[in-house]
Structure 1
Amino acid sequence: MEDDSSSKRPVVKLLGLQTPLLRLRSLGKVLGFDGIPVYLKYEGVNPTGTHKDRAARAHVARAVELGMDTITVGTCGNYGVAISYFARQAGLRSVVFVPKSYENSRVEEMKRYGARVVFVDGSYEEAVELSSRAARANGWYDANPGTPSDEVSFEAYSAIAGEIVSELGDAPYAVAVPVGNGTTLAGIYLGFLRAYREGEATRIPRLIAGTTALGNQIAASWRRGSVEPVTMSWSKVKETPVNEPLVAYKSLSAAEALEALVATKGRVYEFSDEELVEMAMLLRVFERVSSLPASASSVLALKSFLSLEEVDGPLVAVITGRWRRIKH
């Protein structure tokens, strides 16, 4: 992925969000991280509780710049809430397409922020396609992944890397990211690549993807040793309330994510729903941090990575959640 998005940087920096880097302490000992500094990049403190706020805020800013009055997206929940929240702040209309079958869709929050919600008889990928089609037909801003506006999302997520470098004074040895479409991982890679090229970091960390064992195109491609996205059918995935943010027979930023994984000698690890839920509970009990089970895949991925690799430096897991960190 080439860093050719300099024209977009002012918008994202102007509207930048800063999230904390939390040192993993009690849970680190339980998981066998003794002696290795492990951090949580906690995106749960964003306004609507997830990292999707970063992309949503940047897309709304771009829509305003372009003089557009409506923004649309297909969502399994979090991104739709973020788009509707920031659209309302900017005085834009939002139209959010949501699969009827999704149990964690946060529809009431979207409506509370003024979104028009369109239910779709189909998958998440079909909701995205219908949203993009409606954008083209009506002249709306299309904030969906897998579209020309992807660069705005990559740039927004690149700020996560910049914040990590700023906090640690250099890039860590490895960064683990929950992966569904792969957009966040691709954006984080862009940020570390830029930091390295601009002399702010001495290395680019190895990027580790954590995802569901029940079907993800990036994981399937990696498992087959393919640097290009392999074709998956809907019948090859099993969607559950736990893995909704991760499951994807068509990961819409798969090519960019795979490029980042190959370039950094990364890894991909897949986990069951039971493992995801257990790790989210452990984070809550030992670290007083609320994490969506799907995003706890990043901590599991670091644990798997450490069982096979010698590391040289700190590790970071990017996690998200709908709630603030619990106060002691």
Structure 2
Amino acid sequence: MEEGDSSSSKLLALSTPLLKLTSLRKLLNLDGAAVYLKYEGYNPTGTHKDRAALAHVGEAVLNGYDTVTVGTCGNYGVAVAYYARLAGLRAVIFVPKGYSNSRVPEMKRYGARVVEVEGPYEDAVAVSVSSARANGWYDANPGSVNDHVSIEAYSLIAREIVRQLGDAPAVVAVPVGNGTTLVGIYHGFYRLYRAGETTRIPRMVAASTSNANQLVYSWSRGSTEPLPVEVSEVRETPVNEPLVAIRSLNAEEALRAIYASKGAAFGFSDSEMVEMSILLRAFEGVSALPASASALLAVREYLKANEVDGPVVAVITGRWRREKR
């Protein structure tokens, strides 16, 4: 899609490749498993957030809205701004003032109005939700009245993986902040299994930062319900911003999915995520955001303690296409 192209024909379903891990398997001691990367970097703005943004903008158009709003740390705001522009809608994006927000210029380039909010990500979402209610805007926020649209959009990742592999994999690892993507993918696999289109539901593995994510915090303490995270435990950085969540907005559903599928949740340091993103680029020619590289770290951790009887998939986000080697 070319920037500035406002043709409605561009509002099409998205599809991303499944790349088999090759050179890195031996280095990561993964020789015993077939590991794949579901590479969301092929989406127009480079992340899995395109899927939810496209779906929400489509709903906004169908229901006669002229403005769509969201609170964001960066990636989701860019995706909403991008698709709103294609559809001829106005986008109002709320961002936490204290975050690095390296993608704010892109949001503005796509014509979005960007509003800085004092406080953390959760406050930006809260202001966006209240603004949507007060102004009659379409609310594209996770955990909001239209949350089901995001979950349905992410469920299509499961259908694509099944089409690409011929069946559901044994394990799927997903980077999590709010947990919305993991919930959507799980529901996709669940429906396919109930319809007899797969032989199993994968074990869902959440990957995140070790510096305060409610899903990882709750699972590591054996809780099936979201536990409160102390603000004092938060260590936000440009690397972990997409993953930090004092309150994961889809925490309850995500924890249910992890426990129901006999999965797990892991948190990693910035240095671990950065190192894995460098390895992916050097050995596989895949550009991965460090936060999303946590999914492959989670695969490694999960396979250390668990035997699997089929393929393993890590959902990876980037901002560029796979490099030619």
Structure-1-length-normalised TM-score: 0.95
CA apart distance, 1:29: 1.2
Aligned to 1:5: none
Provide the rounded CA distance (Å) in 1 between the counterparts of 2:52 and 2:102.
18
Aligned to 1:10: none
Determine if the alignment matches structure 1 residue 280 to structure 2 residue 277: yes
Aligned to 2:141: 144
- Work out whether residues 208 and 261 of structure 1, in 8 Å CA contact, stay in contact via their aligned partners in 2: yes
Provide the rounded CA distance (Å) in 2 between the counterparts of 1:200 and 1:101.
46
- For residue 318 of structure 1, the aligned residue among 298, 315, 319 is 315
- For residue 165 of structure 1, the aligned residue among 156, 162, 165 is 162
- Amino acid aligned to 2:133: R
CA apart distance, 1:16: 1.9
- Work out whether residues 178 and 211 of structure 1, in 8 Å CA contact, stay in contact via their aligned partners in 2: yes
Identity of aligned residues (%): 67
Alignment of 1:46-85 (within 5 A): 46-85=43-82
Provide the rounded CA distance (Å) in 1 between the counterparts of 2:55 and 2:323.
28
Determine if the alignment matches structure 1 residue 99 to structure 2 residue 96: yes
Provide the rounded CA distance (Å) in 2 between the counterparts of 1:104 and 1:295.
17
- Amino acid aligned to 1:110: M
Secondary structure of the structure 1 residue equivalent to 2:37: strand
- Work out whether residues 97 and 127 of structure 1, in 8 Å CA contact, stay in contact via their aligned partners in 2: yes
Per-residue CA distance 1:25-82 (angstroms, 9 max, x = gap): 0001111111421000000010000000000000000001110000000000000000
Aligned to 1:129: 126
- Amino acid aligned to 1:123: P
Determine if the alignment matches structure 1 residue 225 to structure 2 residue 222: yes
- Work out whether residues 98 and 105 of structure 1, in 8 Å CA contact, stay in contact via their aligned partners in 2: no
Provide the rounded CA distance (Å) in 1 between the counterparts of 2:260 and 2:227.
18
- Amino acid aligned to 2:176: V
- For residue 179 of structure 2, the aligned residue among 178, 182, 185 is 182
Provide the rounded CA distance (Å) in 2 between the counterparts of 1:148 and 1:171.
30
Gaps of 5+ in 1: 1-13
- For residue 300 of structure 1, the aligned residue among 294, 297, 301 is 297
| Number of residue equivalences | 315
Provide the rounded CA distance (Å) in 2 between the counterparts of 1:294 and 1:19.
19
Aligned to 2:194: 197
Provide the rounded CA distance (Å) in 1 between the counterparts of 2:33 and 2:118.
47
- Amino acid aligned to 1:155: E
User: Using a 3 Å threshold, how does the CA distance of structure 1 residues 118 and 104 change in structure 2: closer, same or farther?
Assistant: closer
Q: Which aligned runs of 4 or more in structure 1 are off by greater than 4 angstroms?
A: none
Alignment of 1:248-267 (within 5 A): 248-267=245-264
Determine if the alignment matches structure 1 residue 19 to structure 2 residue 7: no
Provide the rounded CA distance (Å) in 1 between the counterparts of 2:18 and 2:99.
31
- Amino acid aligned to 1:276: M
Provide the rounded CA distance (Å) in 2 between the counterparts of 1:29 and 1:230.
37
Secondary structure of the structure 1 residue equivalent to 2:197: coil
CA apart distance, 1:165: 0.5
Provide the rounded CA distance (Å) in 1 between the counterparts of 2:288 and 2:197.
30
Alignment of 1:202-221 (within 5 A): 202-221=199-218
CA apart distance, 1:142: 0.4
- Work out whether residues 78 and 105 of structure 1, in 8 Å CA contact, stay in contact via their aligned partners in 2: no
Per-residue CA distance 1:244-293 (angstroms, 9 max, x = gap): 01111010110110010011001011111000000000000000000000
Secondary structure of the structure 2 residue equivalent to 1:119: strand
Aligned to 1:154: 151
- Amino acid aligned to 1:192: F
Per-residue CA distance 1:282-314 (angstroms, 9 max, x = gap): 000000000000000000000001110111111
Secondary structure of the structure 2 residue equivalent to 1:32: coil
CA apart distance, 1:146: 1.0
Secondary structure of the structure 2 residue equivalent to 1:279: helix
- Amino acid aligned to 2:279: L
Provide the rounded CA distance (Å) in 2 between the counterparts of 1:141 and 1:206.
34
Provide the rounded CA distance (Å) in 2 between the counterparts of 1:266 and 1:306.
11
Aligned to 1:110: 107
CA apart distance, 1:100: 1.4
Provide the rounded CA distance (Å) in 1 between the counterparts of 2:108 and 2:298.
35
Structure-2-length-normalised TM-score: 0.96
